[in-house]
Structure 1
Amino acid sequence: MENHSIDENKCPAETLLKQLSGKWKPQIIRIAVTEPVRFNTLLRQLEGSNKQSVATALKELEEQQLLTKTVIKLKPLHIEYTLSEKGKALIPVFRHIEDFS
């Protein structure tokens, strides 16, 4: 009998869905497709969001290497988030989901 680790048997779709789970992650990615996003802009665009939940979602997306965080040192100093290459690879997935629903 072959010995497989648990990770080898994990469904790729399940892994992706877990990475994107959370109230604001899909919406943040959708917004970041068209332009770099800033924290306060997200708070205004994500109706019903709060600072803590958006900050947590941004941190997790960055840790998952779906977003890239860039500090812009122009005055006023600010931070922009853009889709990483890995994040950009999700664009067709989101488009297929939109077509499906």
Structure 2
Amino acid sequence: MNLTRMRRFGLERRLVKIKKEFEGIIVWDDQDLLNILFSRNPENLYTISCRWNYREEHCNGTALCTDGPVAVVHGSRKMVAWKREPAFVALHNAMQQVSTP
């Protein structure tokens, strides 16, 4: 994230305005607000490949993310807590064993 660009763009002001505009309609809060904002300002969105946001649905059935090794795993929708995807649970457990300086 480039905080300088975000401030220059007026991110907070724009998000507050969108929140007021869609009060009572949005479901996913921050995600909905950002989706609306960038649908209106696509030139300010830098898209990245799925290897930087690897999700469980990328490995169910057909491999959906094949542009390189996984860089960031997205553990969303209580996937680890509900133990829905054993490989992601194993990764989570292994990461908890890593000590950081």
* TM-score normalised by L of structure 1: 0.26
Say which structure is richer in strand. 1
Higher radius of gyration, 1 or 2? 2
More contact order relative to length (CA 8 Å, sep ≥ 6): 1
Structure holding more helix per residue: 1
User: What TM-score do the two structures reach when normalised by structure 2?
Assistant: 0.26
